[in-house]
Amino acid sequence: MKKCGNCDEEFEPKRHNAVYCSPECSKRATNKKILERYKTKKQKPIKKKRVCSSCTETVLSIYNVADICHLCVRKEEQKNIDKLLRELGANVK
């Protein structure tokens, strides 16, 4: 017995490499995969030139969906860490 790759029902495979319990489940799974590929292709990268909203110097990559560069993100994270350490009473520069 195998589990269907689409509906998770157990079935007796007629072939050694069967994945789906029926042709209908196979069609549904194929359509689901096609729809997922279509959705990811629709998400195109941002084409206009953008700069970091924090430092206003760094040009952001077309694939970066955030409005802040990775260096400014690290600075913000470090500020948060320093603040937490100060609250805990540790000595911070």
Question: Domain extents for the chain?
Answer: 2-42, 45-93
Q: What is the pLDDT of residue 56?
A: 85
* pTM, two decimal places: 0.43
Q: How confident is the model over 12-60, as pLDDT tens digits? A: 999 999 999 999 999 999 999 998 888 776 666 666 788 999 888 899 8
Burial class (CB within 10 angstroms; exposed 0-12, middle 13-18, buried 19+) of 21: buried
Rounded to 5°, angle at Cα 72 from 76 and 49: 145
Q: What is the pLDDT of residue 50?
A: 87
Q: What is the pLDDT of residue 42?
A: 63
Q: 56 near 39, Cβ under 8 Å?
A: no
Higher-pLDDT residue of 6 and 43 is 6
| Residue 55: both structure tokens together | 């430092």
